[in-house]
A and B are shown apart, each in its own frame.
Chain A
Amino acid sequence: MNNFPILTALVLVPAAGALVVALMSKRHPDIVKLAGVGFSVVTGALSIWVLGKFHTGGDGSFQLVSQHSWIKQWGIGWHLGIDGISLFLVVLTGILFPIALLGSDSHHDIKPYTAWILLLEAGVMGSFLSLDLFLFFVFFEIVLVPMYFLIGGWGYDKRVYAALKFFIYTMLGSAFMLVGILTTVFLAKAQLGHITFDLVELQKASFAVSTGRWLFLAFAIAFAVKVPIFPFHTWLPDAHTQAPTAGSVLLAGVMLKLGTYGLLRFSFGLFPEATRYFRPLFLTLGVIGILYGAIVATMQKDLKRVVAYSSVAHMGFIVLGAFAFTGQAVSGSVLQMINHGVSTGALFLLVGMISERRHTREISQLKGLQSVAPIFAGVFTLVMLSSIGVPGLNGFVGEFMILIGTFLTARWWTVVAAAGVILAALYLLWAYQRVFHGQPDEANKTFSELKLKEALVLAPLLGIIVFTGVYPKPMLDRIQPAVNKLVQHVDYPQPQSPIAAAEGGQ
């Protein structure tokens, strides 16, 4: 089995699943669902297999590479590979899709719903694995389509508006990237002597300073919308609020990471000089996102919007860490992408369960749920504490690494950003108090306790939350080599540890 093209399978299995489900009869919804879950579970198992095969240590280069030339005359290839930066994103995708399918209910038209979700999974997997710009762009765009239909077809009241906004906004960002990709490829042709879309090849080309900066911006706009980075974030609360539960879980859990992942892989990878040049801008936008997202989250009246704006704040941390250019901060960003996916994914699942029971997400309509559903409240508390960043749980490890690493190269940004931890406690605990504390009124008295099926769906996420919090070492060991390679590539002057200097490191 050593030559099994496992990364290719990660993309093709869900894609085939989408096709199979689309061809099934809609008269047997149970079988449709079973098939959907089956394909996503197989994909998840494959992603775990990748984790097992991944070689820890080394120089941080791509592993399990699958490379086939495809359209020779244009230099386009089927080039997939995985490194420490994408590894856990792939695993997260593998785990989160079956959970999203199992943990939510489509209510109607389960067949197209399941097919769209599987197509989405193929697109996300492809985006995380592609090492060819053309291939990446195709997957990056494919992702939009199923998400548009999921929001528009299975969402809440204002779903059409939200889906449209989501689609046009991200599409517009991508247009810049398409221009960027084509320009990059043609400019590189002059240096490399042949046309190629291959990322690894293109990294060998160097661009004139101002050209590189323009190209960087073209890519960065697409990714900034996706992350989203302030002020390009307003599509997110609308999309999140209106999307069905599975849509919100996957949107926050994996799709936003396409933006931060794209920045690290493509913007950093292709334009290191411009990355350094725009560093202050992105550090500042990251810090603004942290504080601004938290402040706006505090004042939301809809529980889902609170979680949505909390994503803006969390993604701000990830952007901050990425542009700090130290091993600790960038590793922290990569880890925090996973942590945010797990915690926010779980939060959206829980909010979805509240909404299923009460048919409302208005905070003012909810009250005293802890009295009637203590276990549900306990699970919510654990996830909330993880999102707040309490040590011993996953969120803290990433946040701490980002902050301590950023402090080494961007002290004052860190001083302000760290204040975000105060606000995170404020908006989540306040929302929690209004929803779970107090005496339940008539409408909330019948709120039912966490069901076994719901508990089983949440259990893997809760396990990851605690495990990552107390023992992140296995993850860090795998993330680090690739991150250090990237940091070296960006070539920002590294501060030296006084002790390392004195004792020659350890």
Chain B
Amino acid sequence: MISAAWLIPAFPLLGFLLILVFGRRLGDPKAGYLASTMIGAAFVVTVGVFFDLLSKTAEQREHIVKVWSWIPVNGLGYNLHVDLAFLVDPLSITMCLFVTGIGTLIHLYSIGYMHGDPRFSKFFLYLNLFALSMIVLVLGSNLLVTFLGWEGVGTCSYLLISFWHERESAATAGKKAFVTNRVGDWGFMMAMFFAFHATGSLNYHEIISAATSGKMSQSTATAIAMFLFVGACGKSAQLPLYIWLPDAMEGPTPVSALIHAATMVTAGVFLLVRMSPVLDIASHWGPTLIAYIGAATALFAATIAAAQNDIKKVLAYSTVSQLGYMFLAIGSGAYTAAIFHMVTHAFFKALLFLGSGSVIEGMHHEQDMRKMGALRKLMPVTAITFIIGWLAIAGVPPFAGFWSKDDILLAAWQTNKFLWAVGLFTALLTAYYMTRQVMMVFFGKARWHDAHEEHGAHGDFVPHESPKIMLLPLVALGGLAIVGGVINLPFSHNTEKLTTWLEPVIGRPFESTGPKIVLAVVAVVIGLIGIAGGVLVYNRHKAPAIEPEILARGWYYDWAVTRFMGGPGRESFEATAWFDANVIDGAVNGVATLVRATGGEVRKTESGRVRTYALGIGVGVVVLLGWFLVRGLM
């Protein structure tokens, strides 16, 4: 089964090609079923490969499946050999399982959500292309194949954010996502160059053995790790490059769930875990910086989320914040915890996004939470599953998020108490802003009666529950958000299944020594305080809401960046263009004018027309050639 791993990307590729050719003929909803079948088939293959790996001993769980030789260039000193090859090991298969699994659910959901859209089949064309790229990203056996997927998902993200491209804001958001990500891509490329220079290879296997065998110097390892982190900051929306992700909500909601919550944005986390042995031998300041940036991003984004009124913007900032947790884990050396939280986050955040999509559909495309309220009665399935997602992200036991967040906080406690405190405070905020959202959307007074005219509804406007094909994925993800924690329960070595499973892949295993139970209790209490606060403010109205403008506007960071780009940035570009047109080209034309002026006297003897000169040269050359030809023949 392992050697059939190439089938995992092959199915979505086939889906992409079929929809490319027959998409319009298939139409709504057949194109959606085709795309879902393809990603579903990829999931089935992944499960098969997973069980095959499971049946082998831990040492035998690394396999390389080569498809073809991609970029082979022999030089005189260095030989570059990049194969299009896949690395099948516990980490890549873990990633594949949740990418294809959640991907299948979101494909199905999209059949309902995108129903009636004039570009229905194109949506699934992009979705299958995205699935293909994401699989290539996680399965790549070398940095360049990962980069192929990395740029592929970025391109699909661009295409899908600006899917409704008639809308100016969607088009701008797509471009912003692509360009910002390119800043990160620059870092990724630099990391590849350093790795190639140091090891003569781009294969994970060679780079990691150079790191573990001590052949790689500390400074090289630090350079590789930090440049990869620059790449990760772009893709995984960390400070200072996060600005594209909130805007990416312009895309259709299933895209937000799949790409901008569950899968693509976790690519940076995956990449650093994949290269964790290199991180381990890097200078101490490197991982410390990663931990600080992660914690800072987590806190920063959580404060912003607490003041957003757009149902999707709350979730977008929440995603940035949760990704910050994962980087905090990586910086603390707890790689398994990062992957664990990535998986549980994929469950509950995809659930929350799809739930918000269901709400938006039911509310006739309203996204402002101030115009919602009391929806739990009208949308019972959406409400119940959304509440499950809420409890999971708030860290309430035994829901999935509790276990993984706890692992991260434990790791932070051991490495840096200050960062632990930041993480804990962020947990409080998380519980608070998610409670705020749930209360505003599903509880309290119905505030949508007054707004029905805006929705263009005739007569009484009543929000409605979504069709079954959208509810089914919600229920499935709801189940996963409840029980997802079982993959890594901290009770004994036997229940820490994910840790054991990933052990051969990641660098140093993380030894937990902290007061586990005390910390867990503290975290739960903090979470409950956050929930209580949210209920108090947004349901009981016992306390005023704290939503200052500065938080609603995201600390004015995005505003400042936009101002700079539109102001001095643009002006310097304008100045360069002016310089080119006037100084450089001006010099060229100036010389020409000068020559013409001094040549004024001579000009009388010449026609002054280049046309004539050119013809003269042409004729001259022909005559000359003819003469030489004749002489040569003689």
Q: Which of A46-54, A204-212, A292-300, A452-460 contacts B (4 or more CB under 8 A)?
A: A292-300
List the B residue with the shortest CB-CB distance to A68.
B632
Task: List, in ascending order, chain B residues with CB within 8 A of A415's CB.
Answer: 190
Task: List, in ascending order, chain A residues with CB within 8 A of B80's CB.
Answer: 328, 401, 404-405
* A473→B69 CA distance, assembly (Å): 7
List the B residue with the shortest CB-CB distance to A123.
B621
* A437→B189 CA distance, assembly (Å): 30
From A407, A429, A439, A497, contact of B175 by CB (8 A): A429
List the B residue with the shortest CB-CB distance to A238.
B585
Q: Confirm or deny: B26 has a beta carbon within 8 angstroms of a beta carbon on chain A.
A: no
Task: List, in ascending order, chain B residues with CB within 8 A of A400's CB.
Answer: 71, 144, 189
B595-634 Cβ-contact flags toward A at 8 Å (1 or 0): 0000000000000001101110110010011001101100
From A138, A163, A331, A438, contact of B168 by CB (8 A): A438
Given that A390-B155, A401-B80, A437-B171 are contacting pairs, would A300 and B166 also be in contact in the complex, using a CB cutoff of 8 Å?
A: no
Q: Confirm or deny: A152 has a beta carbon within 8 angstroms of a beta carbon on chain B.
A: yes
* A391 adjacent to B152 (CB under 8 Å): yes
From A390, A407, A426, A494, contact of B193 by CB (8 A): A407
* B192 adjacent to A439 (CB under 8 Å): no
Q: Confirm or deny: A368 has a beta carbon within 8 angstroms of a beta carbon on chain B.
A: yes
Q: Confirm or deny: B549 has a beta carbon within 8 angstroms of a beta carbon on chain A.
A: no
Q: Confirm or deny: A425 has a beta carbon within 8 angstroms of a beta carbon on chain B.
A: yes
Given that A370-B165, A407-B193 are contacting pairs, would A300 and B77 also be in contact in the complex, using a CB cutoff of 8 Å?
A: no
> How far apart are A490's CB and chain B's nearest CB, in angstroms?
11
* B68 adjacent to A471 (CB under 8 Å): yes
From A298, A331, A368, A495, contact of B166 by CB (8 A): A368
A394-427 Cβ-contact flags toward B at 8 Å (1 or 0): 0011001101110110010011001101100110
Task: List, in ascending order, chain A residues with CB within 8 A of B584's CB.
Answer: 231, 233-234
Given that A418-B186, A499-B206 are contacting pairs, would A487 and B75 also be in contact in the complex, using a CB cutoff of 8 Å?
A: yes
Q: Confirm or deny: B79 has a beta carbon within 8 angstroms of a beta carbon on chain A.
A: yes
A267-310 Cβ-contact flags toward B at 8 Å (1 or 0): 00000000000000000000000001001101110000000000
Given that A169-B588, A292-B576, A295-B576 are contacting pairs, would A407 and B72 also be in contact in the complex, using a CB cutoff of 8 Å?
A: no
* B617 adjacent to A145 (CB under 8 Å): yes
Q: Confirm or deny: B421 has a beta carbon within 8 angstroms of a beta carbon on chain A.
A: no
Task: List, in ascending order, chain A residues with CB within 8 A of B122's CB.
Answer: 374
* A80→B632 CA distance, assembly (Å): 16
* A296 adjacent to B78 (CB under 8 Å): no
B466-490 Cβ-contact flags toward A at 8 Å (1 or 0): 0000000000000000000000000
Interface centre among A142, A298, A299, A403 (most CB of B within 10 A): A299
Given that A326-B78, A328-B75, A421-B189 are contacting pairs, would A407 and B179 also be in contact in the complex, using a CB cutoff of 8 Å?
A: no
Interface centre among B147, B196, B210, B589 (most CB of A within 10 A): B196
Q: Which of B3-11, B197-205, B395-403 contacts A (4 or more CB under 8 A)?
A: B197-205
Task: List, in ascending order, chain A residues with CB within 8 A of B613's CB.
Answer: 167
> How far apart are A317's CB and chain B's nearest CB, in angstroms?
13
* A77→B348 CA distance, assembly (Å): 76
Which applies to chain B's interface (DSSP): helix, strand, loop or mixed? helix
Given that A70-B628, A499-B200, A499-B206 are contacting pairs, would A439 and B166 also be in contact in the complex, using a CB cutoff of 8 Å?
A: yes
From A231, A332, A421, A500, contact of B186 by CB (8 A): A421
Q: Confirm or deny: A222 has a beta carbon within 8 angstroms of a beta carbon on chain B.
A: no
A480-506 Cβ-contact flags toward B at 8 Å (1 or 0): 100010011000001111111010011
* A258→B426 CA distance, assembly (Å): 61
* B155 adjacent to A168 (CB under 8 Å): no
Given that A438-B171, A494-B75 are contacting pairs, would A138 and B625 also be in contact in the complex, using a CB cutoff of 8 Å?
A: yes
* B190 adjacent to A328 (CB under 8 Å): no
Within B174-232, the residues touching A (CB, 8 Å) are 174-175, 178-179, 182-183, 185-186, 189-190, 192-193, 196-201, 206, 210, 215
From A138, A167, A476, A502, contact of B71 by CB (8 A): A476
* A408→B588 CA distance, assembly (Å): 36
Q: Confirm or deny: B378 has a beta carbon within 8 angstroms of a beta carbon on chain A.
A: no
Task: List, in ascending order, chain A residues with CB within 8 A of B182's CB.
Answer: 421-422, 425
* A295 adjacent to B186 (CB under 8 Å): no
> How far apart are A331's CB and chain B's nearest CB, in angstroms?
5
Given that A328-B73, A480-B73, A488-B76 are contacting pairs, would A168 and B610 also be in contact in the complex, using a CB cutoff of 8 Å?
A: yes
* A163→B613 CA distance, assembly (Å): 13
Q: Confirm or deny: B547 has a beta carbon within 8 angstroms of a beta carbon on chain A.
A: no
* A57→B367 CA distance, assembly (Å): 62
Within B130-184, the residues touching A (CB, 8 Å) are 144, 147-148, 151-152, 155, 158-159, 162, 165-166, 168, 171-172, 174-175, 178-179, 182-183
* B166 adjacent to A407 (CB under 8 Å): no
Task: List, in ascending order, chain B residues with CB within 8 A of A473's CB.
Answer: 68-72
> How far apart are A470's CB and chain B's nearest CB, in angstroms?
8
* B79 adjacent to A331 (CB under 8 Å): no
Task: List, in ascending order, chain A residues with CB within 8 A of B151's CB.
Answer: 390-392, 396
* A497→B585 CA distance, assembly (Å): 44
Task: List, in ascending order, chain B residues with CB within 8 A of A169's CB.
Answer: 588
* A321→B189 CA distance, assembly (Å): 16
Within A49-90, the residues touching B (CB, 8 Å) are 68-71, 76, 78
List the A residue with the shortest CB-CB distance to B592.
A168
* A145 adjacent to B618 (CB under 8 Å): yes
Q: Confirm or deny: B453 has a beta carbon within 8 angstroms of a beta carbon on chain A.
A: no
> How far apart are B581's CB and chain A's nearest CB, in angstroms?
8
From A390, A391, A470, A500, contact of B77 by CB (8 A): A500
* A299 adjacent to B166 (CB under 8 Å): no
* B76 adjacent to A487 (CB under 8 Å): yes
* A495→B580 CA distance, assembly (Å): 38
* A233→B198 CA distance, assembly (Å): 37
* B77 adjacent to A148 (CB under 8 Å): no
A423-446 Cβ-contact flags toward B at 8 Å (1 or 0): 001100110010011110000000
* A397 adjacent to B76 (CB under 8 Å): no
* B186 adjacent to A419 (CB under 8 Å): yes
* A477→B73 CA distance, assembly (Å): 8
Task: List, in ascending order, chain A residues with CB within 8 A of B57's CB.
Answer: none
Given that A167-B610, A472-B71 are contacting pairs, would A295 and B573 also be in contact in the complex, using a CB cutoff of 8 Å?
A: yes
Q: Confirm or deny: A149 has a beta carbon within 8 angstroms of a beta carbon on chain B.
A: yes
Q: Confirm or deny: A110 has a beta carbon within 8 angstroms of a beta carbon on chain B.
A: no
From B77, B185, B193, contact of A497 by CB (8 A): B77
Given that A326-B76, A494-B76 are contacting pairs, would A299 and B186 also be in contact in the complex, using a CB cutoff of 8 Å?
A: no
Q: Confirm or deny: B574 has a beta carbon within 8 angstroms of a beta carbon on chain A.
A: yes
* A422 adjacent to B628 (CB under 8 Å): no
* A234 adjacent to B75 (CB under 8 Å): no
List the A residue with the shortest CB-CB distance to B578.
A299
* A505 adjacent to B79 (CB under 8 Å): yes
Q: Confirm or deny: A113 has a beta carbon within 8 angstroms of a beta carbon on chain B.
A: no
* A497 adjacent to B580 (CB under 8 Å): no
* A436 adjacent to B189 (CB under 8 Å): no
* A502→B201 CA distance, assembly (Å): 13
List the A residue with the shortest CB-CB distance to B73.
A328
Q: Confirm or deny: A144 has a beta carbon within 8 angstroms of a beta carbon on chain B.
A: yes
> How far apart are B483's CB and chain A's nearest CB, in angstroms?
38
Task: List, in ascending order, chain B residues with CB within 8 A of A499's CB.
Answer: 199-201, 206, 210
Given that A426-B179, A498-B199 are contacting pairs, would A327 and B573 also be in contact in the complex, using a CB cutoff of 8 Å?
A: no
Given that A148-B614, A390-B155 are contacting pairs, would A142 and B193 also be in contact in the complex, using a CB cutoff of 8 Å?
A: no
Interface residues of B (CB under 8 A from A): 68-81, 84, 122, 144, 147-148, 151-152, 155, 158-159, 162, 165-166, 168, 171-172, 174-175, 178-179, 182-183, 185-186, 189-190, 192-193, 196-201, 206, 210, 215, 573-574, 576-577, 580, 584-585, 588-589, 592, 610-611, 613-615, 617-618, 621, 624-625, 628-629, 631-632
13 A-B pairs with C-beta separation under 8 A: A165-B589, A233-B584, A296-B576, A298-B573, A328-B75, A429-B179, A438-B171, A484-B75, A495-B78, A495-B197, A499-B199, A500-B200, A505-B79
Q: Which 9 A-B pairs have the closest CB atoms?
A: A327-B75, A497-B200, A437-B171, A494-B77, A499-B200, A299-B577, A234-B585, A407-B193, A70-B632
Beyond known contacts A78-B632, A138-B625, A499-B201: 5 more, CB 8 A cutoff: A234-B580, A292-B576, A295-B576, A385-B155, A422-B179
